[in-house]
Chain A
Amino acid sequence: MNNIVRHPIYFALCLLSTVYVAVANSRGWSLGHAIGAPFGRTMNSTRTLNHK
């Protein structure tokens, strides 16, 4: 427990890494998708059909 207090950032990294892997797996995120998500972008280039 003392070591967690001494290294809170590393402990948080381990915790977040585990959470991230679980969420990324269940939501089908790619690494690029996860990186782009906070900025409203994904690595899947999408477009809508052109009707003309």
Chain B
Amino acid sequence: MAARVLDCPQCGAPVTFRSSIAVFAVCESCRSMVVLHGADLTSIGVMAALPPDLSPFQIGTRGEWKGRGFEIVGRLRVEWEQGSWNEWCIIYDAKTTGWLAEAQGLLMISFPTPAGDPLSAEADSYSPNESLQINGATWTVTDVKTVTYRAAEGELPFAAPPQESRTSVDLVGTKGGFATIELDGDEAELFAGEYAEFTALNLANLKPVPGWDGEIEQEKNKTKALSCPSCGAAVNLRAAGQSMAAVCGSCGTVIDTATPELKVIQEADAAVKGLAPVLPIGQRGKLLAVDYEVVGFVSRGDQYSTWSEYLLFNPWLGFHWLVTFQGHWSLIDRVTSMLDESGQTVEFAGTDYKLFAKGMTTVKGVLGEFYWKVQRGEETEVADYIAPPQIVSRETYPGLAEVTWSHGTYVMPKVVGDAFAVPDLPEPEGIYLNEPNPYTKKWREIRGMFFLSLPILFLVWAFTIPTQVKRVEASFVFQRPRVVSTSAPLSTTTSDSGRKEFFELLATMDAREKARAAGIKPIASPSASVRTVTPPTPSPSASVPAEAQQTFVTPHFELTGGDQRLEIEATAAVDNAWLDLDIDLVNAKTEQTFPAPLEISHYTGYDSDGSWSEGSDKASVALAAIPPGEYFLTIEPSADAKISSLPFTVRAQSGGVFFANYLVVLLAVMFYPIMIWWRGVRREKERWSDSDFGP
């Protein structure tokens, strides 16, 4: 950039033109407005003083935009009915003139852009919320206003004497697009660009901000003081240059701070004394790693309730809001693009937000200062869309025909209290519209584990089921024993042939069976594989008849390996009768027994509802963790009185599993996730019970 240095025609001081297209400059020495005509400078008067502000920008500030450098060479202070802002003139990429607008804490960069189709130069042809197609893109008119130049410094590409006016049409596009159509006489000039983030501009040579920069920290909380035009009390401006209105803390007068004239926006109101913000005006704190100062307080309400809104200011990052209701807090940021509403849903940054509340709100009380000309009684139509913990709100100002969007995130009260050193913030009550659902959060955290554990659990269970192996199967015939008299001594009730048979049987039994059979007398031997014995007579002197008892014994079988499940199954063709089998699994070596009683019963019949059936001709029982060893089964049958003889089969097989293990473990794994999921659903129901737009 080849700078031209000329002498000021008023004072002779050097006036520098860094930009080749600059035609207007303000002498730094005498504040003369000079216009460049060829190689000559002409003075057209003295420029008004710029109002003091906390802007971090200055002439000479450098930055980057879309990978190319820019430098600030001039400034124009512009004002309109509702406020004022800075237009910083930049030289972009060493050759293009552009503008960095600094308004209401937002930054916008724009450049003169040729419009494909001629734009109307008539202000009446533009109206708020109107959609325009310019250069193939869709733009929405946000406002149409008359702007006036208040003051300037540095160099500009056109002459901008104070009080010169023109019409400005502001437009927003999608994805942060920003544009202005400047109407001057019969000319319409388009400036198109985008909203910019302060931190993304890689700025250098910034102006130190009094009270905020480390090197001038001692000036902390020193603010610009004004005199209330109503009562004369001092009114401190904490965001000078950005504040458009301030409230006198003494009398409640709302003062226009956009211009040095300090006009009264709204008369004094004694109700200001009744406002008691829990975060004091002027309180500084570091909230979510950003330094803020509380500069304003609004008490706002609708027909049902009243809530508080705190305006936070950071000279580099602009304004944010802290909104609180019933102890709940949300940090709100302004959205720089128009959002598309689809029915009751709004999409923002890839997330769908659902309409929760809609209605008119009214400003009931104000304290501090604001970036717009706030007034008590100001009405706003608000629509809140939620995706907890986030919220987006659409605000429509009926008087201004303006629509703005904001985005907020729920902040835990303790975080706010710690940030602003207010330890006793009220406890939250109820469920706030964007309060995070702790159960939903937990559910999201564990659902991965939950859904992963289910198939793993099933596969492990399925692949560890031991194969079922038949160990023994034997068939027997139940014979109703003869009834023997017990009125005589044992020796006299047993026939010689029966006694002989019994002792022949004992001879074939091993030592354990002999011991078991001791004292009982044999009756019959139903089959070659079955030995039948009768129980001992209870007492020689007993006078009641006793039935003899059969006992069957299966062949021995081996269980190898480790502990295992053993299932014993019995089948018998019972018909409207029952068969009880008193089965013992006996370890042949240790003689440890495992009782496994079974009952087979099967009944059928007819009644008024038709035929019915109960039970079956099969029964089984499973024994757990049987140690390895040699085993056999002993079976003592008893049956329905009408059965005199009944064949039955007993089978033992190892392997298989107890399904209850899987079932209980499955329930244990499912219980916690399902419980928190259900509680999350209940909490959402409770939240939406306060909404007119609930699902």
Give Cα A19–Cα B302 distance, bound, in whole angstroms: 58
Closest to A5 in B: B445
For the complex, give the distance between the alpha carbons of A51 and B514 in Å.
9
Cβ distance A37 to chain B, nearest Cβ, rounded Å: 8
Contact B460 A42 (CB under 8 A): no
Interchain CA distance A2-B257 in the complex, whole Å:
51
A10 to B453, CA, bound (A): 11
Q: Given the complex of chains A and B, what is the CA–CA distance between A27 and B655 in angstroms?
A: 9
Q: Is the CB of B453 within 8 A of A29?
A: no
Interface positions, chain A 9-52, Cβ under 8 Å from B, are 10-11, 13-14, 17-18, 20-22, 24-34, 42-49, 51-52
A30 touches B661 (CB 8 A): yes
Taking a contact as CB atoms under 8 Å apart, the answer to whether A46 and B562 are in contact is no
**Which one of B449, B564, B595 contacts A4 once the chains associate, using CB atoms below 8 Å?**
B449
Are the CB atoms of B464 and A33 closer together than 8 Å?
no
Shortest CB–CB separation between residue A29 and chain B, in angstroms?
5
Interface of A is mostly: helix
B456→A28 contact, CB < 8 A: no
Contact with A along B503-516 (1 / 0, CB 8 A): 00000000010011
Residues on B with beta carbons closer than 8 Å to the beta carbon of A28: 466, 563-566, 624-626, 654, 657-658
Contact with A along B600-639 (1 / 0, CB 8 A): 0000000000000000000000111110000000000000
- Are A49 and B515 interface neighbours, CB within 8 A? yes
CA gap between A32 and B658 in the complex, in Å: 10
Whether the pair A21, B460 counts as a contact (CB closer than 8 A) is: yes
Taking each of B449, B518, B661, which has the highest tally of chain A beta carbons within 10 Å of its own beta carbon? B661
A46 touching B449, Cβ below 8 Å:
no
Number of interchain pairs (Cβ within 8 Å): 124
A43–B457 touching, CB < 8 Å: no
Sorting the interface of chain A by its residue count into under 10, 10 to 19, 20 to 34 or 35 or more gives: 20 to 34
Neighbouring A residues of B658 by C-beta, 8 Å: 24, 28-31
Shortest Cβ distance from A51 into chain B, in angstroms?
4
Residues of B within 8 A of A47 (CB): 592-593, 595
Q: CB within 8 A of B622: which of A11, A20, A27, A30?
A: A30
- Evaluate contact between A25 and B591: CB separation under 8 angstroms: no
Complex partner residue of B563 from A6, A27, A48, CB under 8 angstroms: A27
Say yes or no: A17 contacts B624, CB within 8 Å. Answer: no
Known contacts: A13-B672, A17-B453, A44-B625. The answer to whether A49 contacts B593 by CB under 8 A is yes
Contact between A33 and B625, CB atoms less than 8 A apart: yes
Residue of chain B at shortest CB distance from A27: B563
With the chains together, A37 CA to B127 CA distance in Å? 82
- Write out the residue numbers on chain A whose beta carbons fall within 8 Å of the beta carbon of B666: 17
> What's the nearest-Cβ distance from chain B to residue A15, in Å?
8
A7:B445 contact, CB within 8 angstroms: yes
Contact partners of A45 in chain B: CB under 8 A: 594-595
User: Would B593 and A46 count as touching, CB distance under 8 A?
Assistant: yes
- With A22-B460, A24-B657, A49-B586 known as contacts, the answer to whether A10 contacts B592 (CB < 8 A) is no
Contact A18 B625 (CB under 8 A): no
* A48: min CB distance to chain B, Å: 5
Is B662 in the interface zone, CB < 8 Å from A? yes
CA–CA, A25 and B659, complex, Å: 9
Q: Which among B586, B591, B657, B669 is the interface contact of A13 at CB below 8 angstroms?
A: B669
Residues of B with C-beta under 8 A to A14 = 449-450, 453, 457, 669
Can you show 28 pairs from A to B with CB atoms below 8 A apart? A7-B446, A10-B449, A10-B672, A13-B668, A13-B669, A17-B453, A17-B666, A21-B460, A21-B461, A21-B665, A22-B461, A24-B657, A25-B464, A25-B465, A25-B466, A27-B625, A28-B624, A28-B657, A29-B565, A31-B661, A42-B624, A43-B624, A44-B626, A45-B594, A46-B592, A46-B593, A49-B586, A51-B518
Inter-chain pairs besides A29-B563, A49-B516, 6 sampled, C-beta below 8 Å: A7-B445, A10-B673, A17-B453, A25-B661, A31-B661, A51-B518
B residues neighboring A (CB under 8 Å): 442, 445-446, 448-450, 453, 456-457, 460-461, 464-466, 512, 515-516, 518, 562-566, 586, 590-595, 622-626, 654, 657-658, 660-662, 664-666, 668-669, 672-673
3 residue pairs, one from A and one from B, having the closest CB atoms: A28-B565, A30-B624, A25-B464
